[in-house]
Amino acid sequence: MRAWQRFRHHPPALVGLGIIVTFLVLAFAAPLISPYDPNAQDLSVAIQGPSGSHWLGTDQLGRDIATRLMYGTRISLLIGVLAVAIGLVVGVPLGVVAGYYGGWADMAVSRFADMLFAFTSILLALTLVAVLGVSLQNVIIAVGISVIPVIVRLVRSSVLSLREEPFVEAARALGAGDLRIIVRHVFRNALTPVLVHATLSIGVSILLAAGLGFLGLGVQSPTAEWGTMLGEGRQFIFSAPHLTAFPGIAIFLAILAFNLLGDGLRDALDPRMSTTERPAG
C-alpha cells in the first residue's frame, strides 16, 4: 500500500499509465470504435488527409489509418510484452544461478551474456530474423533474445550483493537450503530492479520491433503494425506526411509511457531512489 501511495503522487508515472490504458482500450475496442476493416482497400480514397470520415486519413491503398493504428496497437504491445517475458523467463534464472553460485556457473553464464552483448540489439534481432525467417513469432523470439543479456547482468549483480547480506547468512546458518534461500530471500529482494527494468524494456522492445518492421523484416503487410506502417509510408513522406507521422507518434507515445511508468515504479518500490531524495548533481 505504501508503494501505491508513492506511485499515486508521481504525476509523470500516472501520465504514463494513462497513456498505456488508453492504448489498451483502443486496441480491444477497435471493432466498436471504427466502422472500417483494417485491411480493406479502397483505391478511390487512397492517400487522403484527415477528414470527418477518416480521422487520420488513408494510406496508399485507401485503408483507414486510425483503424490500422488501433489494430496495430495489439501487435506492437503483444510483441513488447511477450519479448520481455522471454527475456525474464530465460534471463532471471541464469542471472540468479550466476550470482548465487559463482565459479564455473558464473563464468559460463557471463560468457553467454557477453556473446549476446557483442551485437547491438538491432543487429542481433536482424541476424536472428534472417536465420529464423520473417514472421510475427520469429520477431517476438528475436526481440526477446535481445532482452536476455541485460536481464542476466541486472539479476546477477543484484544477487551478488544480496547473497552476502546478514539475513541470507542467518538463513543459511539455520539450515535453509539453497532453493529456499534463493526464492524466499534473494530473489524477492532482487525483484524491484527486475520489475522496473522489465517495464522499461517493453518500450525498447516495441521500438526494436518497429525498426524491424520499418526495414521490412518485421510483421508483414497487410497485418497492421506500427513499424510496418511507418516503412510503407516512407516513400510518401513529403507528399503525404500523415502516413508516417501518426505511426511515429504512436511509437513515441508508447515508449514515453513505459519509460514514465518504469521511472514511477522505481521511485515507488525503492523510495531511496526517489527523484526528490536524490542529491543534486
Q: Provide mean pLDDT across the span 86-100.
A: 94
Band (pLDDT 50/70/90 cuts) for residue 272 is low
What does R_g of the chain's alpha carbons equal in angstroms? 22
Band (pLDDT 50/70/90 cuts) for residue 279 is very low
- pLDDT tens for each residue of 129-182: 989 898 999 999 999 999 999 999 999 999 988 888 888 888 888 888 888 888
CA angle, 205 then 207 then 210, to 5°: 110
List the domains of the chain with CATH numbers.
79-273 (1.10.3720.10)
Return the closest-CA partner of residue 140 out of 90, 87, 95, 91.
87
Dihedral sign for Cα atoms in the order 72, 74, 77, 82: negative
Q: Residues 59, 232: contact at Cβ < 8 Å?
A: yes
Query: Partners of 90 in the beta sheet?
Result: none
For residues 187 and 269, what is the distance between their CA atoms, to the nearest angstrom?
A: 15
The type of residue at 5 is Q
Residue that the C-alpha cell 494513462 belongs to: 18
Dihedral sign for Cα atoms in the order 169, 174, 177, 182: negative
Q: Residues 106, 160: contact at Cβ < 8 Å?
A: no
The type of residue at 70 is M
For residues 221 and 202, what is the distance between their CA atoms, to the nearest angstrom?
A: 23
Band (pLDDT 50/70/90 cuts) for residue 274 is very low
Cβ neighbours of 139 (radius 10 Å): 29
Whole-model pTM? 0.89
Q: Provide mean pLDDT across the span 234-241.
A: 93
Q: Is the peptide bond before 222 cis (omega within 30 degrees of 0)?
A: yes
Q: Residues 262, 245: contact at Cβ < 8 Å?
A: no
Residue 268 CB partners (closer than 8 Å, separation 6+): 3, 4, 6, 7, 10, 13
- Could you give the 3-state DSSP secondary structure of residue 64? strand
Burial readout 7-43 (b: 16 or more C-beta within 10 A, e: otherwise): beebeebeebbebbeebeebbeebeeebebebeeeee
Q: Residues 26, 73: contact at Cβ < 8 Å?
A: yes
Band (pLDDT 50/70/90 cuts) for residue 1 is low
- pLDDT tens for each residue of 100-143: 998 899 999 999 999 998 888 888 899 999 898 989 999 999 99
Dihedral sign for Cα atoms in the order 141, 142, 146, 147: negative
Q: What is the largest CA-CA distance in the chain?
A: 77
